[in-house]
Structure 1
Amino acid sequence: MKIGYFGDPGAYSNIAATHMAQGEFVPLDSVRSVFNSLQSGDIGLGVVPIENSIEGAVNQTYDFLFKMDAYIIKEYYLRINHCLIGFPDASLKEIKYVHSHPQALAQCSDYLYSHGMKPVSEYDTAGSVKIIKEQETKNHAAIASEIAAKLNQMEILERDIENNKYNYTRFFLLSREPSKLELPSKTSLVFSTENKPGSLFKILKIFDQYKINMTKIESRPVQYNPFTYLFFIDIENNENSEIAIKEIEGITSPFKVLGNYKIASITKN
């Protein structure tokens, strides 16, 4: 089984993938590529980030979940430990520029500011380590995982440089086929409501009526209809979930079940 993930080997998506599935791990250059490769059958499963506990939603993932034929079958929370990575003979005082994915740079903004280091955006955390290695410039460093440093034979100049030590990223494991609803579990939905007073309240009232806990709500603009919105919702399932979901489907359009999956725990370390 081929499992595609966004980023280079050693990326946080790669680390999450090893906790979520077994098989041949395939690095891909974007979230879009993960969805496209899954839809084409080039990979059997895909791993994508969906949200970070500090920086919030990964909007591109939400957009592709709505547009593409992919289903969530598992979730995983990965504790993010950011490292400042440079050349083995570089000193911390030399570092002027730090490369990484924009979210990682934002998550380490306090450290960068306090050390007078200039952030440089790249497509991926692990990929940024490869970039500075190829540049062969000692005053450039990268923010990535410990594994990315080892894979590229680079040095960890400082560990745990993130602003907040409770820094987690939630990942989804995707398949072309949905899994069955079993308890205990979550279901992720996306829908749009009429632009009328009380439209969203009607949905929330259904959850209340059937004693269903909503754990997440995220809105995204409908790209083909300006200033209308899609609502992405996660719920904790109970014996009434299927009835509630059918009722919501009947009063919303568009509507899509994004997947059913076991509830993952957050391990604090």
Structure 2
Amino acid sequence: MTVASIGRPAGDDRGGRTAFQGAPGAFSHEACVELRPWDVHVPFETFAGAITAVKSGDCDCALIPVENSTIGVVEPAATLVAEAGLPIVGDAWRPIRMALMAIDGAVIEQIRTVASHPMALRQCAKTLAEMDVEIVEAFDTAGAAREVAERGDRTRAALAPAAAAEVYGLTVLRNDLQDSDDNRTRFVLLAREPG
């Protein structure tokens, strides 16, 4: 399958509802905006929640990350997709670029704690080890950014897409923290009906 297979079928001008795991500004949200710009993008805290929304008819499809070029299979997402009983109607690989962000006025030398989704943290493990910071797991990359903004602590930072800094009013302290320059994630599109 190709990126085009995620696109809108020829002659179909209707918008739908695409579920994704994470908060607005997350990598999955970015993928929805890029691959299904005509849809309403509906955030869920868990992969299971996004998949259940498709099964129940609350959403037309779900865009779920299942594999990363740096760390391999994305769990529990890949298992949930395999067990969902929903057809995969498209897939696409997207580049993943990690940004370190904090509140306005923070400087990288002050950062003592970095929060993000466990998969994002693994994609930046070598870089984070060099920084000598405490690692905190969050339910989502953009959710970690939102929490950093809410706490207002200059010693805390989040790993998330650079766009999340705009969403939550943070400052990007450093771009491209991922350990691999070729860091990509494969997203699959699940729907109730085969494409």
For normalisation by structure 2, the TM-score amounts to 0.89
In structure 1, the residue matched to 2:184 is: 168
Cα distance in 2, alignment partners of residues 103 and 67 from structure 1: 21
Question: Mapping of 1:22-41 within 5 angstroms?
Answer: 22-41=38-57
Cα distance in 2, alignment partners of residues 69 and 87 from structure 1: 42
For 1:14, give the aligned amino acid.
H
For 2:17, give the aligned amino acid.
K
Q: What displacement does 1:178 show? A: 1.3
For 1:45, give the aligned amino acid.
C
Q: Deviations over 1:113-156 (max 9, x none)?
A: 11111111000000000111111111000000011010001000
Q: Deviations over 1:150-197 (max 9, x none)?
A: 000100000001111110000011110113xxxxxxxxxxxxxxxxxx
Cα distance in 2, alignment partners of residues 120 and 84 from structure 1: 14
Q: What displacement does 1:66 show? A: 3.1
Cα distance in 2, alignment partners of residues 46 and 172 from structure 1: 8
Checking the alignment, whether the CA contact within 8 Å between 1:39 and 1:69 is kept in structure 2 is no
Q: What displacement does 1:110 show? A: 1.5
Q: Deviations over 1:212-261 (max 9, x none)?
A: xxxxxxxxxxxxxxxxxxxxxxxxxxxxxxxxxxxxxxxxxxxxxxxxxx
In structure 2, the residue matched to 1:104 is: 120
Q: Does 1:79 align with 2:95?
A: yes
In structure 2, the residue matched to 1:17 is: 32
Structure showing greater Rg: 1
In structure 2, the residue matched to 1:154 is: 170
Checking the alignment, whether the CA contact within 8 Å between 1:16 and 1:76 is kept in structure 2 is no
Cα distance in 2, alignment partners of residues 10 and 86 from structure 1: 15
Cα distance in 1, alignment partners of residues 39 and 138 from structure 2: 28
Q: What displacement does 1:36 show? A: 0.5
Cα distance in 1, alignment partners of residues 99 and 25 from structure 2: 12
In structure 2, the residue matched to 1:114 is: 130
Checking the alignment, whether the CA contact within 8 Å between 1:72 and 1:174 is kept in structure 2 is yes
In structure 2, the residue matched to 1:7 is: 22
Count, aligned residues: 179
Checking the alignment, whether the CA contact within 8 Å between 2:70 and 2:183 is kept in structure 1 is yes
For 1:15, give the aligned amino acid.
E
Identity %: 30
Q: Deviations over 1:88-134 (max 9, x none)?
A: 10011100000000111111112211111111100000000011111
RMSD (Å) for aligned C-alpha atoms: 1.0
Cα distance in 2, alignment partners of residues 44 and 148 from structure 1: 25
| 1:145 maps to which of 161, 169, 172 | 161
For normalisation by structure 1, the TM-score amounts to 0.65
| 1:59 maps to which of 75, 89, 98 | 75
Q: What displacement does 1:68 show? A: 2.1
For 1:66, give the aligned amino acid.
A
Cα distance in 2, alignment partners of residues 149 and 132 from structure 1: 10
Report SS of the residue matched to 1:59.
Answer: coil
Cα distance in 2, alignment partners of residues 151 and 32 from structure 1: 25
Q: What displacement does 1:56 show? A: 0.7
For 2:29, give the aligned amino acid.
N
Structure 1 residues without counterparts, runs of 5 or longer:
180-269
Q: What displacement does 1:71 show? A: 1.1
